[in-house]
Structure 1
Amino acid sequence: MNDIRLEHITKKYGGNEVVSDLTLPIRPGERMILLGPSGCGKSTTLRMISGLTEITSGDLYMGGVRMNDVGCGDRNVAMVFQNYALFPHMTVYQNIAFGLRTLKLPKAEVKKRVLAMIETLELSGLEKRLPRELSGGQRQRVALARAAIKNAPYFLLDEPLSNLDVQLRAHARKELVRIHELNRSTFLYVTHDQIEAMTIGQRVAILNKGKLQMVDTPHNIYYRPANVFCARFIGTPPMNVFPAELEESALVVAGHRIRLSPAWGRRLASSLKGPRVTAGIRPEEIILRPSERENTVPATVKYVENYGNSLGVYFELGGLEMVATVGQNRPLSQGDALFAEFPDAGLSFFDPETEKNVGYPEEYGGENKPLHLAK
Structure 2
Amino acid sequence: MKSIRFEHIEKSYGKNTVIRDLNLEIRSGERVILLGPSGCGKTTTLRMISGLESVTSGNLYMGGEVVNDVDSGDRNVAMVFQNYALFPHMSVYKNIAFGLRTYKLKKDAVREKVSRIMHVLELDGLQDRLPRELSGGQRQRVALARAAVKQADYFLLDEPLSNLDAQLRVQARKELVRLHEMYHPTFVYVTHDQIEAMTIGQKVVLMYRGDIQMADTPYNIYYRPANVFTARFIGSPPMNIVPGRLTGREVLAGDFHIPLTDPWLKRLERYQGQELLLGIRPEEMRLTMNADSEGLRVTPKYIENYGNRLGVYCMLGDAECIASVEQGSGLSFTGRIFLVIPPDKISFFDPKTEENLGYPVEYLPAEGDALWDAEQKLSGNIHKERIH
- Normalising by the smaller structure, the TM-score range is over 0.9
Q: Is the 8 A contact 2:297 2:339 kept in 1?
A: yes
Q: Where in structure 1 do 4 or more consecutive aligned residues deviate above 3 Å?
A: 330-337, 369-374
Q: Note the alpha carbon deviations across 1:194-228, whole angstroms, 9 max, x for none.
A: 00000000000000011000000000000000000
Q: Is the 8 A contact 2:288 2:331 kept in 1?
A: no
Q: Is the 8 A contact 1:300 1:317 kept in 2?
A: no
Aligned to 2:321: 322
| Alpha-carbon separation, structure 1, partners of 2:44 and 2:384 | 26
Using the aligned pairs only, state the percent identity: 60
Equivalent position SS for 1:188: strand
Q: 1:262, CA displacement in angstroms?
A: 0.4
Aligned to 1:175: 175
Aligned to 2:372: none
Equivalent position SS for 2:362: helix
Cα distance change on mapping 1:370 and 1:363 into 2, 3 Å: farther
| Alpha-carbon separation, structure 1, partners of 2:138 and 2:160 | 12
Code of the aligned partner of 1:134: L
Give the 5 Å matches for 1:55-66. Answer: 55-66=55-66
Aligned to 1:93: 93
| Alpha-carbon separation, structure 2, partners of 1:273 and 1:104 | 70
Q: 1:319, CA displacement in angstroms?
A: 3.8
| Alpha-carbon separation, structure 1, partners of 2:274 and 2:384 | 22
Code of the aligned partner of 2:23: T
Give the 5 Å matches for 1:120-135. Answer: 120-135=120-135
Equivalent position SS for 2:124: coil
Equivalent position SS for 2:303: strand
Cα distance change on mapping 1:273 and 1:72 into 2, 3 Å: farther
Q: Is the 8 A contact 2:212 2:383 kept in 1?
A: no
Does 1:226 pair with 2:226? yes
Q: 1:296, CA displacement in angstroms?
A: 1.4
Aligned to 2:363: 364
* Structure 1 gaps, min length 5: none
Q: Note the alpha carbon deviations across 1:145-201, whole angstroms, 9 max, x for none.
A: 000000000000000000000000000000000000111000000000000000000
Cα distance change on mapping 1:5 and 1:177 into 2, 3 Å: same
Q: 1:130, CA displacement in angstroms?
A: 0.3
How many residues align? The count is: 372
| Alpha-carbon separation, structure 1, partners of 2:336 and 2:22 | 48
Aligned to 2:379: none
| Alpha-carbon separation, structure 1, partners of 2:254 and 2:334 | 19
Q: Is the 8 A contact 1:227 1:373 kept in 2?
A: no
Q: Is the 8 A contact 2:247 2:273 kept in 1?
A: no
| Alpha-carbon separation, structure 1, partners of 2:20 and 2:40 | 10
Does 1:283 pair with 2:282? yes
Does 1:48 pair with 2:48? yes
Aligned to 1:160: 160
Does 1:341 pair with 2:326? no
| Alpha-carbon separation, structure 1, partners of 2:360 and 2:295 | 22
Cα distance change on mapping 1:70 and 1:273 into 2, 3 Å: farther
**Which TM-score applies when normalising by structure 1?**
0.96
Equivalent position SS for 1:288: strand
Q: Is the 8 A contact 2:313 2:320 kept in 1?
A: yes
Q: Note the alpha carbon deviations across 1:121-157, whole angstroms, 9 max, x for none.
A: 0000100000000000000000000000000000000
* Structure 2 gaps, min length 5: 367-381
| Alpha-carbon separation, structure 2, partners of 1:305 and 1:65 | 53
| Alpha-carbon separation, structure 1, partners of 2:384 and 2:254 | 29
